[in-house]
Amino acid sequence: MQKRRPEITLTIIRSRRDTGSGLDPQGPDGGEIMKLSFTEKTSYGVGALGKDMACGIVNTFLMFYFTDVVGLAPAFLGVLFMVARIWDAVNDPMAGWLIDNTRSHIGKFRPWILAGTLSNTLVLIVLFSNPGIRGAGQYVFYSVIYILWGMTYTLEDISYWSMIPALADTESERNTISVIPRVFAAFGNIAVGSLGLALVSAFGKVAPGALPTQAQQSRGFFWLAVLIGVVFVITNTVTVLFVKEKVVVRNEKKFRFRDIFTTISQNDQLVVIVAAMTLYTLAINLTASLGLYWFKYDVGDERMYGTFYLTAGAQVLAMLVFPLFAKVLSRRRVFIVSALLPILGYVSLYIVGKTLGNNIAMMAIAGVVLFFGFGFSLVLTSVMLADAVDYGEWKLGSRSESIVFSMQTFMVKFAMAIAGLVTGVGLAAFGFVANAEQSAASLTGIRVLMFGVPIALLLASLAIYLKGYRLNGAYFQNIKDELEKRRAANA
């Protein structure tokens, strides 16, 4: 069957093209190659710093804040997180559709980066405000605000990551450009995870060496959210002001609402990416969600969590060396490494915790192995989704960066929700009692959720990837070559 010709026209601002022997010295218009400047690369990357700090405080501390500071029931929170993600299954692709249909003098991405940043900052501060509502009103208040947080974060996150295909058009460029925001994002996450509790204590005016009260933690988390909100606004304003789209593909007609679902469901490689990386991201989020509980109740010192989280710096190292690994190893082998290293890290961390107690040095070694693998996976997700944009254009005849990248936002938030559901329901099922000495059954449950479940998820993710992902090597290069011919014919 002959493939339907794409109804698109193409405007490229001096992009580069990969050939069999390396980089073409000329752009497709015969002019000199125009690369992203250092200022543009840095300005794009710095946006991820504030963005992931805003996501990091929710991903790392919200469950703990709700159960141990506000006093909400864990089982209820698990259900709330799940309901919010069911809504995201509709809301996130709708946001992608809205962005893809945007036409403005500053492009289609930057208006929504700015709008999403400002609105999400406001909601984030309210989320950690703890207004003192009690009874049913307390549950209603936090349910509404949490869902609003997810909706506003969607606008910024989808528009931000959707810019990658518009900034680079070749595999080598995407490997490089995808690393930069991931490095900044890792620094944001590490800063929140390692310094978060210390800042909470400082803002809450906790005496040195003392454990914070609930009131002190409440005040501390509020001002931490304010600080993160300020950083979020500043960093993303820099992105909006100094980064412009380089590769622009304009569809002749706007996406219809029903096109959202065909764009996703008929892009079989996107479906494989979503399935594999959702399971992988769920493993990461379970570690973030259960880590503080494990250190506080099993290891016996919650303050060690911040020290241990410094090993997440291994993610940065993994991201920086990713382009080198991608040159030496096929992307398929890099993915295998990214799945097997965290499994080794989980096993090592469990053994250390079981046999050596609070030996932070040995825990740190296990943490480096764990987070190094996570770092590879974060870059791979962005690169594979950028390739899925091209694949969707080739297969379906229309290009949709934002609808495709809405799946990244959905994966992250869905994994956060499932992690919250598993954590909340799991803790309740094993008899967890907040701020009390835990039973043997409760401690066993924390260990199973912290180590056993993530390992199983990583193995399942690897199996799905190996069986279904095809955008590698000559097969994908042929797709890219055919796209260039189509675009030239329609230019």
Query: Region 324-339: what's the mean pLDDT?
Result: 90
Spatial separation of the C-alpha atoms in residues 301 and 74, rounded to whole Å: 21
In this predicted structure, what is the pLDDT of residue 251? 53
In this predicted structure, what is the pLDDT of residue 249? 58
Does residue 12 surpass a pLDDT of 60?
no
What are the helix (H) ranges across 20-64? 38-64
Least confident interval from 167-171, 296-300, 467-471: 167-171
Which segments of 43-194 are extended strands (E)?
none
In this predicted structure, what is the pLDDT of residue 283? 94
Mean pLDDT of the chain: 85
Q: How confident is the model at residue 15 (pLDDT cuts 50, 70, 90)?
A: very low
A 10 A CB-CB count for 328 gives 8
Question: Which residues on adjacent β-strands are paired with residue 23?
Answer: 18
A 10 A CB-CB count for 490 gives 14
A 10 A CB-CB count for 163 gives 27
In this predicted structure, what is the pLDDT of residue 107? 85
Least confident interval from 39-48, 433-442, 455-464: 433-442
Q: How confident is the model at residue 253 (pLDDT cuts 50, 70, 90)?
A: low
In this predicted structure, what is the pLDDT of residue 193? 86
Query: Region 33-60: what's the mean pLDDT?
Result: 87
Q: Which residues contact 394 (CB under 8 A, 6 or more apart)?
A: 479, 482, 483
Query: Region 121-143: what's the mean pLDDT?
Result: 94
Residue-wise pLDDT tens digits, 297-328: 888 888 788 888 888 889 889 988 988 888 88
Q: Which of 102, 228, 156, 186 is nearest to 372 (CA)?
A: 186
Q: How confident is the model at residue 121 (pLDDT cuts 50, 70, 90)?
A: very high
In this predicted structure, what is the pLDDT of residue 309? 82
Domain parsing of the chain, residue ranges: 8-490
Residue-wise pLDDT tens digits, 207-250: 988 889 999 999 999 999 999 999 999 999 999 999 988 766 55
Please tell me the CATH code under which domain 8-490 is placed: 1.20.1250.20
Pairing, β 8-12 against β 22-23: unpaired
Does residue 433 surpass a pLDDT of 60?
yes
Least confident interval from 51-65, 67-81, 237-251: 237-251
A 10 A CB-CB count for 92 gives 30
Query: Region 438-446: what's the mean pLDDT?
Result: 92
Contact 109, 160 (CB under 8 A): yes
Q: Is the pTM of the predicted complex or chain greater than 0.85?
A: no
Query: Region 156-163: what's the mean pLDDT?
Result: 90
Query: Region 372-400: what's the mean pLDDT?
Result: 90
Phi, psi (rounded to 5 degrees) for 204:
-85, 0
Does residue 456 surpass a pLDDT of 60?
yes
In this predicted structure, what is the pLDDT of residue 247? 62
In this predicted structure, what is the pLDDT of residue 252? 52
Contact 125, 225 (CB under 8 A): yes
* % of the chain exceeding 70 in pLDDT: 89
Contact 66, 217 (CB under 8 A): no
Region class of 107: left (phi > 0), else alpha (psi between -120 and 50), else beta = left
Higher pLDDT, 394 or 246: 394
In this predicted structure, what is the pLDDT of residue 119? 97
Spatial separation of the C-alpha atoms in residues 464 and 459, rounded to whole Å: 9
Buried b (16+ CB within 10 A) or exposed e, 452-475: ebbbebbebbbebbeeebebeeee
Higher pLDDT, 14 or 359: 359
Phi, psi (rounded to 5 degrees) for 18:
-80, 140
Highest mean pLDDT among 45-49, 91-95, 350-354, 394-398: 45-49
Query: Region 11-34: what's the mean pLDDT?
Result: 39
Q: How confident is the model at residue 24 (pLDDT cuts 50, 70, 90)?
A: very low
